[in-house]
Every structure is written in C-alpha cells, then in structure tokens.
Chain A
C-alpha cells in the first residue's frame, strides 16, 4: 500500500525537469520527464493541473490565419497527416469562438482566500539554498524538509493550530508523506496527480531541487525534489485541514475524477501542426533549390558551433570569400572540460548538461595564481562582510557612500565591450586524480572531433567557439551559450586546436586511418555573437605557408561580420546607418548596464539539419537552423548519426523546447519581466517582483519586444541526410529518440530524393513543395 504511494510520488517528481544555476545556464526542455507521453496528453494534464495548455491561445492562430502565415494548404495537410476529425471550416469556426477553458484543479490554499498560497515553501527553499546573499547563517546540517518544518513551526504568521498540527508529523519526509497519504486514502493515480499539481505550484523551486540531483548529486538525499514534494504535500494537508466540510468534499472529489479522454485543445494542436507545416514547407522549398557549385578544396575551413546564430555568419563568410569553407559541430568541440579550479572560484563545466567534464584545464603556475586570487577574494569578502554587518553597515555607508557617486557616473558613460577572449590553456588534467591526460586519450578526443567534422580537407582549420558580452545581466550565461554550461566556447576551441596540433596526436592519427592534409594546422577563435566580430588566437607555431590563408579568413570574417550585423540590426532596433557606427552601437550594448536585451540569443530557432554543408550552402536559413555536419557516405553503420541524434539533437531539442515553453506557457516556464527581477541566492536564480517563487526559463525580453513576439513557437524540425533504413534502425535502437519522435516533441524529416519527407510510424510522408 505505502510503496504504491511512494511510486506515485516518484512518478510525480520525475515529471519535473531540472534547472541549473544562473552562472551555469543550460537550456532545458521543461517536459523532459514527460517525454514518454504524447505531447497532447501532457498538454491536457498541464491544463488541468496548472491551468495552461501547451499551445498558443486561439487568438494567436486566428491572427496567423488571417495574416496568411497559416495557409489553407497547411491546414489541409495537417488534417490529412494528423488524422484529425475536423474540417477546415470547423477549425476556423473554432478560432472564432473557442470554448471556455475547463476549471483547473485547485489546491486547498487556492480555495482559502487571503493567503500567499505556496510562498511559504518558496521562502524556505530560498533560505535553504542561498549561500551568498543572507548573512545570518541557518542551522547547518539539516535536510530541506525538516528545515522547512522547523521554520514554519516557529513562524508566528501561521495560526497556532496549523503549527501544532505540523509538530505532530514526523521529521522524516517520507514517513510524513506516508502518514498524510494514509489519512487521505486517495488512489495512487489521484495521489500522483495531486503531487504533480502541487509541485507545479512551486515549479521553479521544484525544478531547482530536481537540478540538485543532476549537478550536485551529493546533496540529492538532503535537498532533492522528494524533500520539496513532501513539503508540498504536508502544506496541502495543513490547508485541507482549514477547509469547510463542503469544500473538503469538493477537494477530494476533484482528485478522484479521472482525466477525461476528450482533448479540449485538440483543435489548437491541429492549428499548431498547420503552423509548423507552414514553416516546414518553406524550409523544404529552400532546401530543394539547386545548390551553388562548390569550390574545389577550400584554403581554410572554419568550424562553428551548431548554434543558430552561427548560420547567418557562416553564410556571409562563405559569400565573402569562396576559398573559405565552413563546418558545423557541437560548440564544445567534443572537449569534456571544466575551467581550472585552482583559485577560490567555482569550477565551471564547459560541456552540455547531459555530460560530465572529464578533464580540467590547466593554468600556468596554478599555485601562485590560486594564492593570489584567494588573497584578492579574501579582501573583497572582508569588505563585503563589513558592508552588511549590523555594527558596521551604518558607519560604512555613511563614510564611503559618497564614492558611489563616482561609480554612478562611470557606469553611465557609454563604452564599447571588447570581443571576449580567453587565455591559452596549459594542457588537460583528469578531474578526479589531477593526472595529465594520457596520449591515447588525446588521440581519441582528436579522432572523435575530426570524425564529427567529416574529416576536414583544408590545410588550415579554424575552430570558432562563440561567446557574448553583456553587463548587469543575470541571464548573461544564457547568451554566451544555450547549452555548454553557459560558458563561452573559445576555451574549448583553444583546447581542441592544441590537441589537433599535438605532434603525438598527429603521428598517431594515420594509424587509425585518418589522413590529415599536409601541411595541417588548427587555430582557435572566438565569435562574439553580440557584435559578430571574430578574434583569432594566433599561434607562432603555424607554418608560414598558411599565412595567406589566415589573412584571407580574417578579411572574410570582417566582411561577414558587417553583413551579419546589417541583417540583425533591424530586429535589435539599431538604426545607425554606417557600418562602423552600427558596430559601435552593437558593441556598446555589451557594456551598457541598462540594456535588458543585448542581443536576441537563439530566438526563432526552428530546425536542426544534419547534413553536409554542401546541402545548405548559399541558402538563407534566417538564423533559424542548427547546422551539424553529417556525411552519410562516411557512416554506413549509422554510428555517427546515432551519436548525433543522441547528443546534438537532444541539445537542440532542449533549447528549442525551452524557447517554446517560455513562449506558450510563460507563467510557468518563462522567466518573467527582467525589469522586475531580483537575483536570489547570488546565482541560484531570479524572482520576479516580491514573490519568492523562482522563475525559470527565458525572460520576456528574450522573446518579445514590447508587444511584438520575436519567437515563433515551433517544435524542432530535424532534417537528416540519410537513408530511411538507417534512421529507422536508430529509432528502433534508441528509446529516447523514439519517444521524442513518436510523441511529437520534435519532427523528424529526411532529405529524400523528392524533397523533405517526414517520419511517422505509418511511414514517410512528403512535406510538399512550394508555398503559395
């Protein structure tokens, strides 16, 4: 009996996706834990449990229909492919008068008026996890649930009866849950729905607790999501206690009523489907256009991150100079590394969230540098401590406050942000034992990278990591990279370039069947996505014969930067006309403390294309596509493709669904208004306004400009250049991939002989050609 409740609890907590701290930002699919269910079913459950379906409101689609963004052809095709029991007419009629939303489930605290609902839980979470802001330390060694319990027991805001009932419960969370569950005697299904509903009331903190298990596994037992789930259940139990008999009966019956099988949002899903088909058919026709003839062997090849922001730049780079070729690859270049952790700073992983860094990057003279940074930090912290200590804060503000006048003036002066740069790494060391990386490991990393790049043919390979600049921006890490721990990719590029140039590696590669061009040299560079400037880290070891190729690259990069900025300027509201002024204006955004939107990030992302660059070269994809190299002829076994579908595709989908979720369900999965943000716990997250609820996802300023939405909420369209059988075999082998595709969390298509074809369990369906 009890174990079935614990199983239900486990299922409910698994439905919440993790989040990472602000300084290690990772874009997360907030429905990751629900991918084993069809998206429409999850949407229906969410609309019942949180009052929000996972589509846009009817008005949105009506507007898109009237504006011609969704055409009759899209609707017809959606009806055909989705097997919906609607006609075009009934769909349009639905938009004119959408049915009223069904009443969502209500927690006891929502029935009781005049309470801040679940804020008491959020306050305790903030207090428990904050290691930076508060100065009056909490009792140490307690787990989250007992900490909360003791806090509420002493908090005189709550009625005495409530505090006394709480006291009667055990200090062990699962024991308390069992007691409460036994008291309610709900079915395990109802109990699961209840637990999930309650967790959605503290969705931000629930996601944080879930994240603990992902990034700080050692704290999981004391601060994992089960602790919060226990708090939520107990809190609800205390709330139910205060209901009247009638209210209580209603409360019980709403959980026992099963979810109706009728999906009241089905029509909206059909519209969403049509909306996505509109994009897919446009994409199909762009991809179907005849490719420009490829230049012979390029003099330089530049490998960029798959990030959608790279697409624009690569297009302009290739336009600028035909001897420059570009490649797309996951922007950590396959280097599972973390920052040096010799100083007092936290080590920053520079890998996608699903990986663990195996190596840390060495620094020159680690001990001396670490000591120096420690001393600087200890002085800084001493002064900070004094500023907040009760005995010195008054005097300190009084005597030193005038100096802040200067800071006010200094920060108000407009200045340009430089291109972010990083120092040269000093080799790699194992994370655990600190031993330097072994030769064969180096070779393996290099081989993996070269395979992903499809064996570059140019003598000069430039690995371009990307980075961004912004000031006074809690969400800075979200702009530097959507995936790799919120860190710039320049360091990964430098590590990778050093590996490829390593003589030991270069000697070993031919034995593994990898032939490098001769001469061959790899350089690293940073692409600043704010200003589209590229900084190449020059290397004296580079053979002189490659100088001209490097010069060609740098010139082309400058011209590409200007062209990319011109393309991006209107959306940013940069009105400057001259190229130089435009660059200055954009660079200033990166050093402007009053700029809530330095750049648009990965807004409007919509597709991932796994194909050779030749298939996409010269085609305007509007900065909406992630591009990863894939050469079907080099991969008869499908193992490379399998790797791509298990890593870059998941990362792209996480980013895509983060944007999607923040747009369609902003209250639950969006970050809220940056103008009202306050950072909680130093780097834990942000709250909006006075509410203690943690806000996850993207802030409004990343998605819309005033009333104008800049992101089209589309599920990711994955385009693969591979034979049908190879793709189907991977779907067969990889349950995660199968779940995402079968449950429509993304669309899988392939570049067939007759244009794009979309996978469905019933077979491959053509996307169709031209849009009207």
Chain B
C-alpha cells in the first residue's frame, strides 16, 4: 500500500512537470502548423493541457493538505529528484496560472479566429504559460532564472503582435529594456545567494539560511531582488510600457496583467525566508512600491478609457503588493497577488461590457455629512476590532489603518436618496471586509513559511509617509475637487506626473522602431467573394 502511494505521488508529480514541457512542445508545433485544422488542434491541445494542469495542481494541493493533517505522502522527498518544489505557494500559483491559462485560451481562440495575429499569438502565449509554470514549480534558482527570461522574451512577441503599430513597438522595446535590467538584477541576486550559501536549490538554501545569519551578500541580494521585482512589476519610473499594452489584443493584456506582471511579487514570496527580517531590499520595495501605488492610483482616477484605467490600476496594485512585501506582510501579499490576478483578468476580458454598465448616468452623491455619518462609525468599529485582534493584519498597524480607512471609504460613494435599508446593507457589507480579510488570511497563511516579520522603525516611517500621502491626496480629491490647485494637480496626475517620460525618451532614442506604413489593408480583401 505505501508503495502504491509512493508511486501515485511520483506519477502525479511527473505529470505536473510534464504539462509545461508539453506546452512548449505544442507551442513549437503550433508555430509550424500549416493548415487551419492543425492550428485548431494546437488550440485544443493547449486548452486540454492547461485544464489538466488545473486538475493536477488540485491533486498536489490535496496531498499537501494530507501532509498537514498528519497523513504523510512523501511529497517533498519524491519531488526533490524531479526538480520540483511543491509547497503551498507553488500550488496556489499553479492553480492561478492554470485557471487563467484555461480561460484565456478558450477566450482567445474565438476572439482571434481569422485575425492576422492568431498564428503568432498561440505559440507565444503557450510559451508564456509554460515558462510561468516552470518558474513556479522549480526548486532550482537557475531554472527559475531561465523561465523568468523566457516569460519576458515570449511576451515581447505578444506585445508586437501587430508589428506595424508604432505605439506597440515603443511599448515592447521599453518593456524589453526594463526586462533586461530586471534579468541582470535577478542574475545578480541568484549569484549573490549562491556566493553566500553555495547552493541553487531551494530546500538547501532555506536550510542554510535558517542555520546561519545574513552577511553582506544577502543584504546585496535583497537589493538586487528588489530591483528585479520593481522592473517586472512595472514600477515607477519604468512603468511606461505597461500603460501602452492596450496596443496588443485584449487577451494579451489579460495574460500580462493577470499572469505575468505579478512574478516580481512571486520571487519575493519564494525567496523571503533567506532574509532575516527586513532588509535594504524591503525598504526599497516600500519606498518605490508605495510611491508607485500612490501616483498610479491617483492617475487611474483621471483615465477616460476603460483599458487605460485598468492598466493604471494594475500599476498601483502591483505597487501595493510590493509595499506589503516590503513591510513583511507576505500572506497578505499572496492574497493580493491571487485576487488581483483574477479580478484584472476578468476586467480586461469583459471590458466590452462597459457600455452596458454605463446605461445610467452617475448619480449625485449624498451630502458629505450623511456619508461621513456612516463612514466614520464603520471605520472606527473596524479599527476597534483590529485593535482587539491584531493578528488579522499580521500585527501590522499600517495595514490595520489602511483596512479601517478602506471600510470607511467604501461608504463614501453613496448616492443621494439611498434608502435606509440599502444604507444598512452597505454598512454591513463594508464592515464585512474585516472578517473576509481574516478568512482569506487564515486560508493562505499555511501556504507560506513563518510569514511574519516585525515592522522596523524605518519601514514604519516609510509606510506611514505613504499612507499619509494617500489620505491627503484622496481627501483633496473628494473634498475640494473644484479648487484651483487641485485642478492643476489633476492635469499633472492625468499624465502620471510625467514620470514615464524620461525613460520613454531614452528608449525611443535607441530602440529599433520602424514606422512601417500599414501594408494597404484594402487591397487584400477579394478572396472568394465573387468567384
């Protein structure tokens, strides 16, 4: 019987590993597909593979649960020779990427059918999915590094799906340069960790890190890793390309915003146990992530097109995720990563429904006094609850404050004439955020090892500064939107405070961007119409 279990575990893990490898094979085949029939088969194969990845990841997750409940399955031991590291984080990420992959491929098959981009989309999309899976599954830093580069190279092809679009090329080349900086940073981080601990394999690495204290290499590695994450997550001032990705078809945006951009967060969630408490890298994440979150969220408020608003929102949300990592709230960062990915994938894919949602004019808001009368007690109540149960927010007063503010702010958008019954419902919904938060926290906490680092003074000060600025900005926009100076800042913020411009200009100067005149689309269209 135990032998049978061993064999089953081995088979499952082998299958798990085989899926990204098969995806790469299908990608190669689809790139060479001659007829539309064989292309159709490639679509189907890709979909089946991502779906089986979903099932296999669920099974691996079930084994982890059995392990946790005292029914040892020998999962880590079996995984080691296969090069896999199936911990909770890997399983959550695998579930996310395989679900997204399944949905995206199903969507894109219909959406891109007959489009001139279809033939290039499929192989590169499959390469992205396979690379992300390998990046998530592996226990080896070098494999992780290769997959990391693979993702960005494949993405470059997706971003230039319509190579004649100049804006698309500009975005892609900006991304290209940012990615190479990120690659170098990650290589440096891996090299420094190897120099300190003498291993590329995660289990040994964590064991060695737990045994010995840091050293300058680890501190330097944290900075390099922070730079890598900031590049991957499109943080200021290297965020310009992200805002232009609506130059590629909607499924590419969904894939990028939901499945790829968060990898900067993932490598931190993967590697944070090697750091002892908060490092210089953490502070960098707080500072840059927090600043990006602030600027991008205010910029989002000024956007007039749905995809632009979503893109700025991603930029902000990634900043916030890195901010959470920076203050050591790893579990929350994981929750944020998963939730944001699902939300943003759907928002992009369904962005055409905007018109239906705009069937009603925006209703005027209730008088400020009435809204505050609801918002302040809700926020106070939330704060009181969090003061009693600080574990809900990882003992982090910054996140506690933000959660309380969020509860209050949720009620500030109440239109005039909202009935008492509805107001009560909204009040309960807003307060419901606190238990929901707790639930999520408890669900995800087991996925990460000892995911708690106490806040240091520097981190606290940096975080407070970010939070205070956010409150200030939000307050100014809510309370005095008509004031002349607020209106002036609106102009600056609508351009993202111009922060993307220097980098954009630098890349424009060096990138091989062609102003291809469009290959006269009028002239083609005669096939078979009057035969």
Contacts and interface: CB of A to CB of B under 8 A. Distances in A.
Interface of A: 22-23, 56-57, 59-60, 63-64, 67-69, 123, 126-127, 130-140, 150-151, 154-157, 343-346, 374-375, 377-379, 381-386, 388-405, 407-409, 411-412, 471-474, 476-477, 573, 592-596, 663-664, 666, 673, 675-683, 687, 689-692, 700, 704-710, 712
Per DSSP, chain B at the interface is helix
B189 interface: no
Contact of B340 (A64, A401, A595, A666): A401
A127 B298 contact: no
A707 B529 CA distance: 11
Contacts of B417: 374, 378
A594 B168 CA distance: 22
Given A395-B437, A398-B340, A56 B522 contact: yes
Nearest to A127: B304
B59 interface: no
Contacts of A68: 530
Interface stretch (B20-28, B208-216, B348-356): B348-356
A138 B490 contact: yes
A593 B349 CA distance: 8
Contact of B492 (A156, A345, A666): A156
B80 interface: no
Contacts of A680: 304-306
A396 B336 CA distance: 10
Q: Which of B298, B302, B493 gathers most chain A CB within 10 Å?
A: B302
A708 B355 CA distance: 29
A149 to B, nearest CB: 12
Contact of A679 (B247, B317, B352): B352
20 contacts: A68-B530, A133-B309, A155-B492, A156-B495, A382-B414, A390-B301, A390-B470, A396-B410, A398-B336, A401-B340, A408-B99, A472-B352, A594-B109, A675-B250, A680-B306, A683-B355, A690-B247, A691-B167, A704-B525, A709-B525
Interface string B477-498: 1000110000110111111001
Contacts of B350: 407, 411, 472, 593
Interface stretch (B69-77, B128-136, B142-150, B419-427): B419-427
Contacts of B407: 392, 395
A401 B302 contact: no
B339 interface: yes
B409 A392 contact: yes
Contacts of A374: 363, 417
B493 A678 contact: no
Given A398-B339, A676-B246, A594 B406 contact: no
Contact of A127 (B302, B409, B492, B501): B302
A689 B320 CA distance: 26
A733 to B, nearest CB: 39
Q: Which of A395, A474, A663 gathers most chain B CB within 10 Å?
A: A395
Contacts of A403: 342
Given A400-B339, A679-B352, A132 B358 contact: yes
B418 interface: yes
A397 B336 contact: yes
B103 interface: yes
B402 A675 contact: no
Contacts of A126: 304-305
Contacts of A712: 529
Interface in B504-526: 520-526
B353 A471 contact: yes
Contacts of B388: none
A705 B114 contact: yes
Contact of A136 (B306, B335, B402, B477): B477
Given A378-B418, A394-B402, A397-B343, A345 B359 contact: yes
B377 interface: no
Contacts of B437: 395, 398-399
A594 B332 contact: no
B293 interface: yes
Given A573-B113, A690-B243, A708-B524, 19 more contacts: A23-B355, A57-B520, A59-B522, A67-B526, A131-B361, A136-B302, A136-B477, A377-B415, A386-B409, A391-B474, A392-B405, A401-B338, A404-B343, A412-B107, A678-B306, A679-B305, A706-B115, A707-B527, A708-B528
B127 interface: no
Nearest to A476: B355
Contacts of A22: 355
Nearest to B523: A59
B316 A157 contact: no
B351 A678 contact: yes
B369 interface: no
B460 interface: no
Q: Which of A137, A409, A595, A673 gathers most chain B CB within 10 Å?
A: A137
A131 B249 CA distance: 26
B51 to A, nearest CB: 11
Contacts of B301: 134-136, 388, 390
A712 B530 CA distance: 10
A392 B345 CA distance: 20
B388 to A, nearest CB: 19
Q: Which of B355, B407, B526 gathers most chain A CB within 10 Å?
A: B355
Contacts of A375: 418-419, 422
A389 B413 contact: yes
Nearest to B482: A139
B461 interface: no
Nearest to A681: B304
A681 to B, nearest CB: 6
Contacts of A683: 354-355, 358
B9 interface: no
Given A379-B418, A708-B528, A389 B409 contact: yes
List the 5 shortest-distance A-B pairs measured between CB atoms, nearest first: A385-B413, A401-B339, A709-B525, A682-B358, A395-B406
B386 interface: no
A136 B491 CA distance: 11
Contacts of B353: 471-472, 593
B108 interface: yes
Q: Which of A23, A68, A385, A391 gathers most chain B CB within 10 Å?
A: A391
B526 A709 contact: yes
A67 B351 CA distance: 41
Interface in B285-302: 293, 297-298, 300-302
A392 B406 contact: yes
A133 B362 contact: no
B367 to A, nearest CB: 14
A681 B362 CA distance: 12
Contact of A134 (B110, B112, B304, B357): B304
A682 B355 contact: yes
Contacts of B525: 60, 704, 707-710
A710 B525 CA distance: 8
A242 B298 CA distance: 33
B528 to A, nearest CB: 6
B156 interface: no
Contact of B412 (A57, A64, A140, A385): A385
Contacts of A135: 300-301
Contacts of A377: 360, 363, 415
Given A390-B470, A396-B433, A378 B302 contact: no
B120 to A, nearest CB: 13
A397 B340 contact: yes
B249 A133 contact: no
A232 to B, nearest CB: 19
B178 interface: no
B525 to A, nearest CB: 3
B287 to A, nearest CB: 17
B237 to A, nearest CB: 15
A689 B247 contact: yes
Contacts of A705: 114
Contacts of B297: 390, 393-394
Contacts of A673: 115, 162
